[in-house]
Each structure stands twice: as C-alpha cells, then as structure tokens.
C-alpha cells in the first residue's frame, strides 16, 4: 500500500508541475484533394492513374477468365 501511495504522489506531482507550451505560429492544413482536382499537374496525374487503373482491371479480368477456364477443365477431368 505504501508503494502505491508513493507512486500516486509521484504521478500527481508530475502532472501538477508540467507546463503547457504555447506556440506563436498557427497550424495550417493543406487540402490535397482540392489541389489534385484543380491543378494542371494534379489533373494529369489523376488521368494517368485512372488509365493505369483501367488497364490493370482489364488485365485482371483477362487473367480471371483464363483461370475460370482452367478451373472448369480441371473439374471436368
């Protein structure tokens, strides 16, 4: 019990005598979505990403068809 009292008093003193720091500079946030959708470079980047995404989806669909055909062949044999 004595140990818990000492521990509690140490934590209490620690939290009572800690000072909060204040900053003179304000915090700023950048809206990346707005920048990507409205800047020329952002629009081009999104276009490239979307075309690559569409190509990857088409490639995966082709591979899925091949795998389905192979699965059917394996099941029938």
Q: Kindly list the averaged pLDDT for each block of 10 residues, start to end, along the chain of length 77.
A: 81 73 77 91 95 98 97 90
The pLDDT, as a whole number, for residue 1 is 65
Does 25 fall in a domain? no
Residue ranges making up the domain that contains 77 = 32-77
Split into its structural domains, the chain has a count of 1
Q: pTM of the entire structure?
A: 0.55
Alpha carbons 15 and 66: distance in angstroms, whole number: 65
Does 18 fall in a domain? no
Among 26, 48, 52, 27, which residue's Cα sits nearest to residue 36? 48
Does 52 fall in a domain? yes
Does 2 fall in a domain? no
Does 45 fall in a domain? yes
Rg for the chain, CA atoms, rounded: 30
Among 33, 29, 58, which residue's Cα sits nearest to residue 46? 33
Alpha carbons 18 and 15: distance in angstroms, whole number: 6
């Amino acid at each position: 019990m004595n140990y818990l009292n000492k521990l509690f008093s140490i934590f209490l003193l620690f939290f009572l005598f800690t000072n909060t720091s204040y900053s003179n500079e304000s915090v700023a946030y950048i809206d990346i979505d707005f920048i990507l959708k409205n800047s020329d470079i952002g629009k081009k980047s999104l276009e490239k990403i979307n075309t690559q995404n569409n190509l990857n989806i088409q490639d995966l669909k082709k591979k899925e068809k091949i795998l389905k055909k192979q699965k059917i062949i394996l099941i029938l044999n």
